[in-house]
Structure 1
Amino acid sequence: MRGNVVWMVARREIVTRMLTKANIISMVVMLVVILVGAGVGRYFLERESTPEATRVAVEQSTAALEPQISAAAQATGTDVEITTMTAEEARAAIGDDEADAPLDAFVTGDPASPRVVVHQEADPAVMDMVTAAVRAYVVSDRIGELGGDPTEFEQAMAAAVPQVEALDPPDDEAGFDGAAFGIATVMISLLLFALIGSGSMIAMGVVEEKTSRVVEILLSTIKPTQLLAGKILGIGIYGLFQVVVLGGALVVATRILGVEGLSVDVGAAMIWLVVWFLLGFLLYALLFGGFAALVSRQEDIGSVTTPLMFLLFVPFYVTMFLVPNDPDSTLVRVLSQVPFFAPFMMPVRDAFGALAGWEMPLAIAISAVTIPVLIWLAARVYQRGVLHTGGRMKLTDALRG
């Protein structure tokens, strides 16, 4: 019977909050924006996907490689422009960022084992093309000099590898995964949006019922804890619906954009996002629902929700600034186990592949153990504050009463 009462309250919340015309329209608009935006992005990506010609310069001493480079480019379908330059001209062209057609690479030295001079990092396609050209040169020009000896021939082929010289080597950022950061940012932003929306909806609903005195009628037939539980359940279902629908739309958007080869399993990331939404929702919704009962007017609701919003934004921004820089640091590991930080930090660290096998289960367990404590706290505050009228009730009075 108690479960039926809670579900009746939850169903009322779903109908009055989730199925309103404003919510339906806003959800449809967000879906259209995501999907249309992905389609427009795909259109512009395809327009800009036509590769520019690769510009390679050779020194006079390595001019013999020009035919082989052209042949290798033709075999791989690469559009290449080959010019002859001196070393000084090539180095100036490579470092000139304002040039209309910047030079991608300069080949110099012995044609059988040349050096490839680049600005920062060598383009793999250029390296493959030059390597194929060098090997072809060795086969065509040296095999006769080797006298047909297989051993000498293999040794010459093994040495036919270009050496890379970078004029401005890039900083070591091997640990940063741009795809993981992008997916993680979208995930916790969606989580923050859902938690703020759900928490605010619960708080406003509690105060509305107090202001209209509807709560007095409801509490004549059901218990305060049942009313609070039903309200949290109903709005939680709406919040979960938002996360699943908008998260699914983002997954579809990645498919529309043709994003392939991501280092992050988007499907698994979505599952963990749902898990952490459910845990995060319970952690924060209990506080929003319980503490909102301390005030009796809509004008005063900010005094309750502002600290809770701060409690949401702090973990979000701490996650954004700390985790991408060092997802394995001691501070990040410790904060990841704190219940109010875990819903944000754990999905991001998981996206970066920085979690040990025991960390996710431990964080879930700690959050699950914290929830009953918050249930007791929220129920106690709600029971004593929901029928209070007039000015704001102090939290200490609610806990003592």
Structure 2
Amino acid sequence: MNNETLRHPWQLVAQREISTKIRDKTFLGSTAFMLILVMAAVVIPALLTGHGGADKIAVLDDAGAKVVQTADATKGGGAYEVTKVADQAGAERLVADGDVKAALLPGDNGYVVLGDDQVDTDLQNNLHEAVVNLGMEQNAARAGLTPQQLRANTEVQERLLNPGPLPQIVAGFVNIGLALVFYMTALGFGMMIAQSVVQEKESRVVEILAAAVPIRALLWGKVIGNTVLALSQIVVIAAASLIGLLATGQADILKVVAPVAGWFVVFFVLGFVALAGLWAVAGSLATRQEDLGSTTLPGQMILMIPFFFSVFAGSSAKTVASFVPIASSMAMPGRMLTEDVPVWQPLLAILILVLATVLIVRLGARLYERTLLQTGRRLGYREAITLKAS
């Protein structure tokens, strides 16, 4: 062991944590599970809101193409794409093969929307509205009226009392996704931290480590190593989300989500570091793997209650929770997606979280030093607080 290593012993512990975890099937499995959840949170809103690429509509002539283009403009653009075919048989073939969503064919008194086993109701309504509008314009022109005169006093506008930066359904899914990412990551890594501490105690490896490395360095190594791993997992998940948004035609959502994601990283790191110290203490209180059910229960409750608050609570409760340490890591980023939150609120929440994290980590370090080498029996938190430092 050289002098540089001795000056930073926590680095050895952190490197050991990282190298062990990246080969662990539980870690790899949890990462895969999180990727599936996040991709579902990206794709499902796209399906519900109609994103995911333009629906191709087969037409025979320019008149049919104009109907589809009008329907697309009504949807805001990018919803429908014209596919011209030579004859009705070609259109039927494309519909049957699934190459187009539907076909718009001339009928006896207008048009026929041709589908395979069914026609999407939203598509049918949009095409019908486009046909009606174009037909009225043509009839009005014959009567000497302009399209503007025809539509006079028929405009309907939308006004929201509390507009959000994203559509409600999308914001709701992203809100749940961010809270779930923090919850699952903190819980998964927390249990792994606690289990690794118990394994070291059961195998007596901890006594060898404590003889060579200060106990606080053992704690900091575990906290920093797992924080690096957790952030790496978040980066992978974020990259998958980016790919999912681009693939489903939701790139515009990135303009809103990207700034909030930066805030989320800050809240995540601070909340995770505080919890990591507590999870390590939960492992040091136990002497066997079976003890973790009771020693990790406080940590699980600290995560579970804020998670349900951030997802299911009302607006007032979420506002309060967004300033409560640990809970703010889940509640504040979600509020920033669904509400117009003044910048001073996340800054204040971060300040409170920093102070709480410092206090929690200092308390956790003291308890960890007092309980790590206690191998005779399982200790309780109250008993650990009363123990004297060895």
Superposition TM-score, scaled by structure 1 size: 0.69
Give a deviation string over 1:280-311, Cα, whole Å, max 9, x none.
21121111112321121111111011221122
Match of 1:139 among 138, 141, 147: 141
- Kindly indicate whether residue 319 of structure 2 is the aligned counterpart of residue 333 of structure 1: yes
Any residues of structure 2 matched to 1:361-380 within 5 Å, and which? 361-380=347-366
Q: Which has the larger radius of gyration?
A: 1
**Residue 271 (structure 1) shift:** 2.8
Q: Paired residue for 2:300?
A: 309
Give the direction of change, closer, same or farther, for the CA distance of 1:365–1:135 in structure 2 (3 Å limit): same
Q: Paired residue for 1:384?
A: 370
Q: Which amino acid aligns with 1:337?
A: F
State the secondary structure of the residue aligned to 1:236: helix
Q: Which amino acid aligns with 2:281?
A: G
Q: Paired residue for 1:203?
A: 194
- Kindly indicate whether residue 276 of structure 2 is the aligned counterpart of residue 289 of structure 1: no
**Residue 180 (structure 1) shift:** 1.3
Q: 2:53·2:248 contact (CA, 8 Å) conserved in 1?
A: no
CA distance in structure 2 between the partners assigned to 1:186 and 1:272 by the alignment: 15
Give the direction of change, closer, same or farther, for the CA distance of 1:83–1:394 in structure 2 (3 Å limit): same
CA distance in structure 2 between the partners assigned to 1:287 and 1:103 by the alignment: 53
Any residues of structure 2 matched to 1:213-362 within 5 Å, and which? 213-262=204-253, 265-322=256-313, 326=315, 329=316, 331-362=317-348
Give the direction of change, closer, same or farther, for the CA distance of 1:83–1:187 in structure 2 (3 Å limit): farther
Q: Paired residue for 1:49?
A: 55
CA distance in structure 2 between the partners assigned to 1:202 and 1:13 by the alignment: 9
CA distance in structure 2 between the partners assigned to 1:278 and 1:293 by the alignment: 23
Q: Which amino acid aligns with 2:341?
A: L
Deviating more after overlay: 348-357 vs 292-301? 348-357
- Kindly indicate whether residue 183 of structure 2 is the aligned counterpart of residue 192 of structure 1: yes
Q: 1:72·1:133 contact (CA, 8 Å) conserved in 2?
A: no
How many residue pairs get aligned? The number is 332
Superposition TM-score, scaled by structure 2 size: 0.71
Give the direction of change, closer, same or farther, for the CA distance of 1:308–1:132 in structure 2 (3 Å limit): same
State the secondary structure of the residue aligned to 2:250: coil
Q: Which amino acid aligns with 2:342?
A: A
Match of 1:12 among 13, 16, 20: 16
Q: 1:191·1:277 contact (CA, 8 Å) conserved in 2?
A: yes
**Residue 138 (structure 1) shift:** 3.3
Q: Which amino acid aligns with 1:371?
A: T
Q: 2:163·2:339 contact (CA, 8 Å) conserved in 1?
A: no
Q: 1:180·1:263 contact (CA, 8 Å) conserved in 2?
A: no
Q: 2:198·2:286 contact (CA, 8 Å) conserved in 1?
A: yes
Give the direction of change, closer, same or farther, for the CA distance of 1:390–1:185 in structure 2 (3 Å limit): same
Q: Paired residue for 2:99?
A: none
Unpaired runs of 5+ residues, structure 2, are: 73-103, 110-117
Q: Percent identity?
A: 27
Give the direction of change, closer, same or farther, for the CA distance of 1:349–1:161 in structure 2 (3 Å limit): same
**Residue 251 (structure 1) shift:** 1.7
